[in-house]
Amino acid sequence: MAPTPRVNTAEPARARRPLTVISRLSLPLILCLLATGCSTLDSIQRTVFGGGPRRGQPGFVDGFLGAVVADEPNAALVGKEVLSAGGNAADAAVAVGLSLGVTLPSRAGVGGGGACVAYHPAGKRAPDAILFVPPAVVTVGGGDRRAAVPMLPRGMFVLHAGRGRLPFEFLIDKAERLARFGSPVSRAFARDLALVAGPLFADPGARNAYGRGGVPLVEGQTMTQPDLAATLAQLRVAGVGDLYQGALARRVEQMSPLAGVPIGLADLRAALPAVQPPAVVAFGEDQVAFPPTDGGLAAAAALMTLRDRPADVQAALLSSLAAAARWRAGGANSDQVLNGELVAPASVPLYPATTSFAAMDDEGNAVVCAMTMNNLFGTGRMVPGLGFLTAASPANVTPPLLAAGLAWSPRRDAFRAAAGGSGQAGSGLAAAAALANTLRSGQPMQSLVPEPGRANVISCARYLPGSEANCGAVADPREFGLVARGS
């Protein structure tokens, strides 16, 4: 006996009713809103309907991007482009750091290094300090100028690892294009170049890269660096490790002695960045993180003084110099330095030049860095055929103060402010004064930091995530940097 057919009792009209616009969009909308970085109407429209710039293309993020501030305008604009393409603060910071090695090689470069503080609001954890300070070469001798081990590529790779959103190769490509196709010489770089062009141009690589017919480039002229572009392309294709234990490492070992700055393969292999807990200082309801270096502790000690005695700038300067001296003496950790008795040095050493930058994205991720070549233009010697200057050995020069600090609220799990300081002996005080002023006023650096210091600042008065309308950034008006941000 055949089975009795089942009767479909569903309402025919409803079963055949076309999906409404809302019902067709519901699932994509939900998925988009749950996805990281898909918070704007523009992102939702692209997810649902397609079209428009894709992640990795400028214009992917519409509206508020965050901000980038740096001492060199071309590098700052690269950072903004990365944010616009859907990158986060770590991506932007990596792109800026690598680009500064192209556009401001007097103070940053493949041959140099630095220190950063990176914050990500998700996870309710303290910021990280990423240390990639260029150490002295110790495995080879000879040469007439001792070099440091290149640390920038490994430092930027570690900053990106676990924090970046866009491919690392994409970020290297930004710097590579600046070197290959050229960038206009900024006022910041032209000033540095004019100061030392005479002795610097004794090196043929530097003379070819930074001059025309033996005459230093001036502001507005195009600076192309094909050898550096080739090195960056090799890092992009073969990976950063190639500079430390691959074909590029062997070329550095082979070619650096020809410039009088030998760097051994064993030095390259052994040079590793470090991710460490920062030194932390309380300021009102916020916490401020500094890299556990002499410059970071100099800034932390100065901030503690300004927190308790806002008008005593001289005491803050002495505290910063004393903290740096105590750290360099050894035998004490960051807490012992900041909470112990500090004695200012009898004389202030001549600290080398540095540069600073900061980046923040629309989600409240933030990075602030200080970078150096351990001297203006490092050793003044370029590795033949590779296009980058070597940093000066810290065994031969007084290492610089790498001063940077980042404020956040553990209770709100949100970013508050970041400041990078430069200005040789005034670097620590500069970062501290900028942070103290910003945290008190609610606006980024409402007054100039004391001479000879300079500062770059990003802040959000009502925190981020929170109220993006209260976020701002300032480049020190006495210098030639740039704030690059979206609406």
Question: The pTM is what?
Answer: 0.89
Nearest to 431 by CA among 421, 422, 441: 421
Name beta bridge partners: 358.
69, 368
Could you state, in order of their start, the residue ranges of all structural domains in the chain? 71-279+329-485
128, 118 contact by CB (below 8 A): yes
Interatomic CA distance for residues 73 and 80, integer angstroms:
11
Please say if the pLDDT value at position 52 is more than 80. Answer: no
Query: Which residues lie closer than 8 Å to 64 by C-beta, 6 or more apart?
Result: 362, 468, 471, 486, 487
Nearest to 352 by CA among 116, 75, 134: 134
Select the more confidently predicted residue: 59 or 199: 199
The C-alpha angle 31, 467, 411, rounded to 5 degrees, equals 90
Positive or negative torsion for Cα 416, 75, 248, 200: negative
Q: How confident is the model at residue 56 (pLDDT cuts 50, 70, 90)?
A: confident
Tell me the pLDDT tens digit for each residue of 179-191: 999 999 999 999 9
Structure tokens, 5: 């057919």
Average pLDDT of span 47-67: 79
Percentage of the chain with pLDDT > 70?
A: 89
Interatomic CA distance for residues 295 and 371, integer angstroms:
11
Tell me the pLDDT tens digit for each residue of 374-413: 999 999 999 999 999 999 999 999 999 999 999 999 999 9
Nearest to 455 by CA among 337, 386, 368, 330: 368
Average pLDDT of span 336-363: 94
pLDDT of residue 447: 87
92: helix, coil or strand? helix
pLDDT of residue 125: 76
